[in-house]
Amino acid sequence: MGDFKDLKVYKKSYNLAMEIFFITKSFPSEEKYALTGQIRRSSRSVSRAIAEGYRKRRYPNHFISKISDADMENSETQVSLDFAHSCGYISEEVNSKLQSLSEEVGKMLYHMMTFPEKYQGRGTN
C-alpha cells in the first residue's frame, strides 16, 4: 500500500488547509489568536489525523479513532468558516467553495470509518 500522501482525502484536506491559510492572511489582526489561529489549527489537524490514522491502519479501532478525530476537526473547520463569513471576513462565494471542499473531505472520511478494511490492504493502493 502506498503512503498516506497518496490518499485522495489527504491531498484534498491538505489543499483545503492551504487555501484557508492564504485566505486568513487577510483577516483582521485582532483575530490573530482567535478565529485565524483556530481555523488554521483545525484545518491542518485534519491532514495530521489522516496521516496518523493511516500509520495505524493495521489496527482498525485505532484507525477509526484517528479518522474520527479528522472528521471532528473537519466539522470544526466548517463552523469556523461560518463564523468568518458571518463576521464579513470571507464572501458567501468563498465560504460556499470552502464548505463544499470540506464536505467532500467529510464524505471520504466517513467512507474510511465505515470501511476501514479497505485501507488495510497488502500490496499496492
Task: Look at residue 50 and tell me if it is in a domain.
Answer: yes
Task: Look at residue 57 and tell me if it is in a domain.
Answer: yes
Task: Look at residue 124 and tell me if it is in a domain.
Answer: no
Task: Look at residue 125 and tell me if it is in a domain.
Answer: no
Task: Look at residue 33 and tell me if it is in a domain.
Answer: yes
Task: Look at residue 20 and tell me if it is in a domain.
Answer: yes
Name the domain count of the chain. Answer: 1
Residue 55 belongs to domain with CATH number: 1.20.1440.60
The predicted pLDDT at position 58 comes to: 92
Task: Look at residue 123 and tell me if it is in a domain.
Answer: no
Buried b (16+ CB within 10 A) or exposed e, 98-119: beebbeebbebbeebbeebeeb
Task: Look at residue 69 and tell me if it is in a domain.
Answer: yes
- Provide the residue-wise pLDDT of the chain in tens; the chain has 125 residues: 579 999 999 999 999 999 999 999 999 999 998 999 999 999 999 999 999 999 999 999 999 999 999 999 999 999 999 999 999 999 999 999 999 999 999 999 999 999 999 998 654 33
Residue 100 lies in domain: 4-117
